[in-house]
Amino acid sequence: MEKKEGYNSYRIAVPPAFEEIFSHFYFAENKSDTAITQTLLPSYQTIMVFSFGTQVSFTIPENAELTINKCLVLGPIKQALDYTLPPNAEILVANFKDDAFFRFFGNASIMQNTPIHPDELLNENCFTHLWSELNKIVENTDRINHILDFSKPYVRNRNQIAEQIIGFDDNNNSPVKDISEKNQLSERAIQLHHKKYFGYSAKEINRFNRFLKAIQLIQETASSIDTKIDWFEVIHICGYYDQSQLIHDFKHYLNLSPSKYLKYQQSICNPRS
Protein backbone atom coordinates (compact mmCIF):
# COMPACT_ATOMS: atom_id res chain seq x y z
CA MET A 1 0.00 0.00 0.00
CA GLU A 2 1.05 3.56 -0.63
CA LYS A 3 2.85 5.16 2.29
CA LYS A 4 0.96 8.20 3.50
CA GLU A 5 2.47 10.83 5.78
CA GLY A 6 1.53 10.07 9.38
CA TYR A 7 -0.28 6.83 8.51
CA ASN A 8 1.18 3.68 10.05
CA SER A 9 -0.19 0.19 9.54
CA TYR A 10 1.10 -3.35 9.92
CA ARG A 11 0.08 -6.96 10.44
CA ILE A 12 0.82 -8.84 13.64
CA ALA A 13 1.29 -12.61 13.61
CA VAL A 14 -0.66 -14.92 15.89
CA PRO A 15 1.03 -17.41 18.26
CA PRO A 16 0.80 -21.03 17.00
CA ALA A 17 -1.69 -21.97 19.75
CA PHE A 18 -4.23 -19.54 18.28
CA GLU A 19 -3.66 -20.06 14.55
CA GLU A 20 -6.97 -21.93 14.24
CA ILE A 21 -8.84 -18.94 15.66
CA PHE A 22 -7.20 -15.82 14.21
CA SER A 23 -5.33 -15.51 10.92
CA HIS A 24 -3.62 -12.32 12.11
CA PHE A 25 -4.17 -8.96 13.79
CA TYR A 26 -3.97 -5.66 11.97
CA PHE A 27 -3.10 -2.25 13.40
CA ALA A 28 -3.47 1.18 11.81
CA GLU A 29 -3.08 4.70 13.18
CA ASN A 30 -3.25 8.25 11.85
CA LYS A 31 -0.71 10.66 13.30
CA SER A 32 -1.23 13.29 10.60
CA ASP A 33 -3.39 16.43 10.71
CA THR A 34 -5.92 15.24 8.13
CA ALA A 35 -8.31 12.30 7.83
CA ILE A 36 -7.04 9.32 5.82
CA THR A 37 -9.34 6.96 3.93
CA GLN A 38 -8.29 3.47 2.87
CA THR A 39 -10.10 0.64 1.10
CA LEU A 40 -10.20 -2.86 2.56
CA LEU A 41 -10.44 -5.73 0.07
CA PRO A 42 -12.98 -8.47 0.77
CA SER A 43 -11.49 -11.38 2.69
CA TYR A 44 -14.50 -13.59 3.50
CA GLN A 45 -13.41 -13.32 7.11
CA THR A 46 -15.36 -11.84 10.00
CA ILE A 47 -13.46 -9.09 11.79
CA MET A 48 -13.62 -7.57 15.25
CA VAL A 49 -12.51 -3.94 15.28
CA PHE A 50 -11.33 -2.13 18.42
CA SER A 51 -11.22 1.65 18.02
CA PHE A 52 -9.04 3.88 20.20
CA GLY A 53 -8.64 7.64 20.17
CA THR A 54 -10.76 9.59 17.71
CA GLN A 55 -13.73 7.59 16.42
CA VAL A 56 -13.19 5.70 13.17
CA SER A 57 -15.84 5.39 10.46
CA PHE A 58 -16.54 2.63 7.93
CA THR A 59 -18.51 2.94 4.71
CA ILE A 60 -20.15 -0.37 3.93
CA PRO A 61 -21.92 -1.47 0.72
CA GLU A 62 -25.03 0.55 -0.15
CA ASN A 63 -22.95 3.57 1.02
CA ALA A 64 -24.10 3.32 4.63
CA GLU A 65 -21.65 4.96 7.04
CA LEU A 66 -21.10 3.79 10.60
CA THR A 67 -18.93 5.13 13.38
CA ILE A 68 -17.12 2.79 15.74
CA ASN A 69 -17.40 3.89 19.33
CA LYS A 70 -15.36 1.16 21.02
CA CYS A 71 -15.68 -2.14 19.19
CA LEU A 72 -17.84 -3.96 16.67
CA VAL A 73 -18.05 -7.17 14.68
CA LEU A 74 -18.52 -7.13 10.92
CA GLY A 75 -18.54 -9.85 8.32
CA PRO A 76 -17.86 -12.01 6.60
CA ILE A 77 -16.35 -9.23 4.49
CA LYS A 78 -17.64 -10.10 1.01
CA GLN A 79 -17.24 -6.72 -0.69
CA ALA A 80 -14.75 -3.87 -0.40
CA LEU A 81 -15.12 -1.44 2.50
CA ASP A 82 -13.78 2.08 2.93
CA TYR A 83 -12.61 3.15 6.37
CA THR A 84 -11.58 6.63 7.49
CA LEU A 85 -9.15 7.37 10.30
CA PRO A 86 -9.37 10.97 11.53
CA PRO A 87 -6.29 12.51 13.17
CA ASN A 88 -5.28 10.67 16.37
CA ALA A 89 -7.36 7.60 15.54
CA GLU A 90 -6.15 4.02 15.74
CA ILE A 91 -7.68 0.60 15.22
CA LEU A 92 -6.72 -2.92 16.21
CA VAL A 93 -8.46 -5.58 14.13
CA ALA A 94 -8.81 -9.27 14.98
CA ASN A 95 -9.38 -11.42 11.89
CA PHE A 96 -11.33 -14.60 12.63
CA LYS A 97 -10.18 -17.61 10.62
CA ASP A 98 -12.41 -20.19 8.90
CA ASP A 99 -15.11 -21.27 11.40
CA ALA A 100 -13.59 -19.44 14.37
CA PHE A 101 -16.30 -16.78 14.65
CA PHE A 102 -18.91 -19.48 15.18
CA ARG A 103 -16.69 -21.43 17.57
CA PHE A 104 -16.38 -18.22 19.56
CA PHE A 105 -19.98 -17.01 19.50
CA GLY A 106 -21.82 -20.32 19.09
CA ASN A 107 -24.60 -20.32 16.56
CA ALA A 108 -24.95 -16.57 16.67
CA SER A 109 -24.95 -15.02 13.22
CA ILE A 110 -24.86 -11.50 11.88
CA MET A 111 -26.59 -10.30 8.76
CA GLN A 112 -24.32 -9.35 5.88
CA ASN A 113 -23.30 -5.68 6.01
CA THR A 114 -24.93 -5.31 9.43
CA PRO A 115 -22.29 -4.44 12.05
CA ILE A 116 -23.05 -5.38 15.63
CA HIS A 117 -21.47 -4.83 19.03
CA PRO A 118 -20.05 -8.19 20.21
CA ASP A 119 -21.73 -7.83 23.61
CA GLU A 120 -25.06 -8.23 21.83
CA LEU A 121 -23.97 -11.63 20.53
CA LEU A 122 -23.18 -12.93 24.02
CA ASN A 123 -25.82 -10.96 25.95
CA GLU A 124 -23.23 -9.63 28.38
CA ASN A 125 -20.94 -6.60 28.56
CA CYS A 126 -17.62 -8.47 28.58
CA PHE A 127 -16.33 -6.81 25.40
CA THR A 128 -17.02 -3.34 26.72
CA HIS A 129 -14.94 -4.31 29.74
CA LEU A 130 -12.26 -5.79 27.47
CA TRP A 131 -12.08 -2.56 25.46
CA SER A 132 -11.62 -0.55 28.68
CA GLU A 133 -8.69 -2.77 29.65
CA LEU A 134 -7.13 -2.59 26.18
CA ASN A 135 -7.44 1.19 26.16
CA LYS A 136 -5.08 1.33 29.14
CA ILE A 137 -2.43 -0.79 27.42
CA VAL A 138 0.16 0.96 25.23
CA GLU A 139 1.94 -1.84 23.36
CA ASN A 140 -0.02 -3.76 20.73
CA THR A 141 1.72 -7.03 21.54
CA ASP A 142 0.44 -6.70 25.12
CA ARG A 143 -3.03 -5.81 23.84
CA ILE A 144 -3.09 -8.89 21.64
CA ASN A 145 -1.90 -11.17 24.43
CA HIS A 146 -4.72 -9.78 26.57
CA ILE A 147 -7.26 -10.49 23.80
CA LEU A 148 -5.93 -14.04 23.41
CA ASP A 149 -6.17 -14.73 27.14
CA PHE A 150 -9.68 -13.29 27.14
CA SER A 151 -10.67 -15.56 24.24
CA LYS A 152 -9.63 -18.90 25.73
CA PRO A 153 -12.81 -19.70 27.73
CA TYR A 154 -15.10 -18.85 24.81
CA VAL A 155 -13.64 -21.06 22.09
CA ARG A 156 -15.64 -24.25 21.48
CA ASN A 157 -14.35 -27.45 19.89
CA ARG A 158 -14.57 -27.57 16.11
CA ASN A 159 -17.54 -29.35 14.53
CA GLN A 160 -16.62 -32.62 12.78
CA ILE A 161 -18.09 -31.57 9.42
CA ALA A 162 -16.37 -28.17 9.62
CA GLU A 163 -13.10 -30.00 10.31
CA GLN A 164 -13.54 -32.04 7.13
CA ILE A 165 -14.41 -28.97 5.05
CA ILE A 166 -11.29 -27.14 6.25
CA GLY A 167 -9.09 -30.18 5.66
CA PHE A 168 -10.42 -30.89 2.17
CA ASP A 169 -7.59 -30.33 -0.33
CA ASP A 170 -8.69 -32.19 -3.48
CA ASN A 171 -9.03 -29.48 -6.11
CA ASN A 172 -10.42 -31.95 -8.63
CA ASN A 173 -13.52 -32.87 -6.62
CA SER A 174 -16.36 -31.07 -4.90
CA PRO A 175 -15.96 -30.89 -1.11
CA VAL A 176 -19.74 -30.86 -0.68
CA LYS A 177 -20.24 -34.05 -2.70
CA ASP A 178 -17.21 -35.84 -1.26
CA ILE A 179 -18.01 -35.04 2.38
CA SER A 180 -21.71 -35.83 1.96
CA GLU A 181 -20.85 -39.32 0.67
CA LYS A 182 -18.31 -39.90 3.42
CA ASN A 183 -20.80 -38.98 6.17
CA GLN A 184 -23.91 -40.43 4.49
CA LEU A 185 -25.57 -37.02 4.49
CA SER A 186 -27.29 -35.18 1.68
CA GLU A 187 -25.37 -32.54 -0.25
CA ARG A 188 -27.95 -30.05 0.98
CA ALA A 189 -27.06 -30.89 4.60
CA ILE A 190 -23.36 -30.26 3.93
CA GLN A 191 -24.19 -26.97 2.19
CA LEU A 192 -26.16 -25.89 5.27
CA HIS A 193 -23.27 -26.85 7.53
CA HIS A 194 -20.90 -24.82 5.35
CA LYS A 195 -23.11 -21.74 5.56
CA LYS A 196 -23.70 -22.16 9.30
CA TYR A 197 -20.10 -22.55 10.42
CA PHE A 198 -18.32 -20.36 7.88
CA GLY A 199 -20.91 -17.71 7.04
CA TYR A 200 -20.75 -18.39 3.29
CA SER A 201 -21.36 -21.23 0.83
CA ALA A 202 -18.78 -23.41 -0.92
CA LYS A 203 -19.83 -21.83 -4.22
CA GLU A 204 -19.24 -18.32 -2.84
CA ILE A 205 -15.75 -19.07 -1.54
CA ASN A 206 -14.73 -20.85 -4.76
CA ARG A 207 -15.70 -17.79 -6.77
CA PHE A 208 -13.86 -15.51 -4.35
CA ASN A 209 -10.69 -17.64 -4.41
CA ARG A 210 -10.65 -17.37 -8.21
CA PHE A 211 -10.93 -13.58 -7.91
CA LEU A 212 -8.22 -13.49 -5.23
CA LYS A 213 -5.92 -15.46 -7.53
CA ALA A 214 -6.47 -12.80 -10.20
CA ILE A 215 -5.70 -10.01 -7.72
CA GLN A 216 -2.46 -11.67 -6.64
CA LEU A 217 -1.39 -12.25 -10.24
CA ILE A 218 -2.09 -8.62 -11.14
CA GLN A 219 -0.15 -7.37 -8.10
CA GLU A 220 2.84 -9.57 -8.91
CA THR A 221 2.90 -8.43 -12.53
CA ALA A 222 2.38 -4.76 -11.64
CA SER A 223 5.34 -4.87 -9.25
CA SER A 224 7.67 -5.82 -12.12
CA ILE A 225 9.29 -2.90 -13.92
CA ASP A 226 8.18 -2.36 -17.54
CA THR A 227 5.81 -5.34 -17.45
CA LYS A 228 2.31 -4.77 -18.75
CA ILE A 229 -0.69 -6.75 -17.57
CA ASP A 230 -1.76 -9.38 -20.09
CA TRP A 231 -5.47 -9.54 -19.25
CA PHE A 232 -6.05 -12.61 -21.42
CA GLU A 233 -3.32 -14.43 -19.51
CA VAL A 234 -5.06 -13.50 -16.24
CA ILE A 235 -8.34 -14.82 -17.64
CA HIS A 236 -6.72 -18.11 -18.70
CA ILE A 237 -4.65 -18.75 -15.56
CA CYS A 238 -7.48 -17.91 -13.14
CA GLY A 239 -10.14 -19.91 -14.95
CA TYR A 240 -12.43 -17.16 -16.19
CA TYR A 241 -14.57 -17.83 -19.25
CA ASP A 242 -13.91 -14.45 -20.82
CA GLN A 243 -13.07 -10.81 -20.12
CA SER A 244 -16.66 -9.89 -19.24
CA GLN A 245 -16.71 -12.45 -16.42
CA LEU A 246 -13.45 -11.04 -15.01
CA ILE A 247 -14.85 -7.50 -15.17
CA HIS A 248 -18.08 -8.65 -13.53
CA ASP A 249 -16.17 -10.06 -10.54
CA PHE A 250 -14.15 -6.87 -10.12
CA LYS A 251 -17.36 -4.85 -10.17
CA HIS A 252 -18.98 -7.23 -7.69
CA TYR A 253 -16.17 -7.32 -5.13
CA LEU A 254 -14.58 -3.87 -5.53
CA ASN A 255 -17.02 -1.79 -7.57
CA LEU A 256 -14.04 -1.10 -9.86
CA SER A 257 -13.01 -2.30 -13.30
CA PRO A 258 -9.72 -4.26 -13.49
CA SER A 259 -7.95 -1.26 -15.03
CA LYS A 260 -9.30 1.09 -12.34
CA TYR A 261 -8.12 -1.34 -9.67
CA LEU A 262 -4.66 -1.30 -11.21
CA LYS A 263 -4.67 2.49 -11.02
CA TYR A 264 -5.85 2.74 -7.40
CA GLN A 265 -4.35 -0.40 -5.86
CA GLN A 266 -1.85 1.59 -3.79
CA SER A 267 -4.70 2.84 -1.59
CA ILE A 268 -6.26 -0.62 -1.21
CA CYS A 269 -5.42 -2.92 1.68
CA ASN A 270 -5.38 -6.65 0.96
CA PRO A 271 -6.08 -8.34 4.32
CA ARG A 272 -4.75 -11.66 3.06
CA SER A 273 -1.31 -10.48 1.94
3-state secondary structure 123-150: CCCHHHHHHHHHCCCCCHHHHHHHHHHH
Q: By three-state DSSP, how is residue 120 classified?
A: helix
Mean pLDDT, the chain, integer: 87
pLDDT for 272 equals 61
Q: How far apart are CA 107 and CA 162, in angstroms?
A: 13
Q: In terms of DSSP bridges, do strands 22-30 and 89-96 run parallel, antiparallel, or are they unpaired? A: antiparallel
Q: How far apart are CA 33 and CA 4, in angstroms?
A: 12
Closest CA to 94 of 118, 63, 110: 118
Closest CA to 126 of 103, 145, 153, 91: 153
Radius of gyration of the chain (CA): 19
Beta-carbon count within 10 A of 172 CB: 4
pLDDT for 238 equals 94
DSSP calls for 181-238: HHHT--HHHHHHHHHHHHSS-HHHHHHHHHHHHHHHHHHHHHTSTT----HHHHHHHH
Closest CA to 121 of 103, 134, 142: 103
Low-confidence ranges of the chain (pLDDT < 70): 1-3, 61-63, 107-125, 225-226, 266-273
- Return the domain boundaries, the chain: 7-154, 160-200, 203-269
Q: How many CA atoms lie within 13 A of 92 on its CB side?
A: 21
Q: Which CATH number, 2.60.120.10, 3.10.20.30, 3.30.70.1050, 2.60.420.10, labels domain 7-154? A: 2.60.120.10
Q: Identify the CATH number of the domain defined by range 203-269.
A: 1.10.10
pTM above 0.75, yes or no: yes
pLDDT for 83 equals 92
pLDDT for 242 equals 93
The answer to whether the peptide bond before residue 76 is cis (omega within 30 degrees of 0) is yes
Interval 53-65: pLDDT, tens = 999 998 876 667 8
pLDDT for 69 equals 84
pLDDT for 171 equals 74
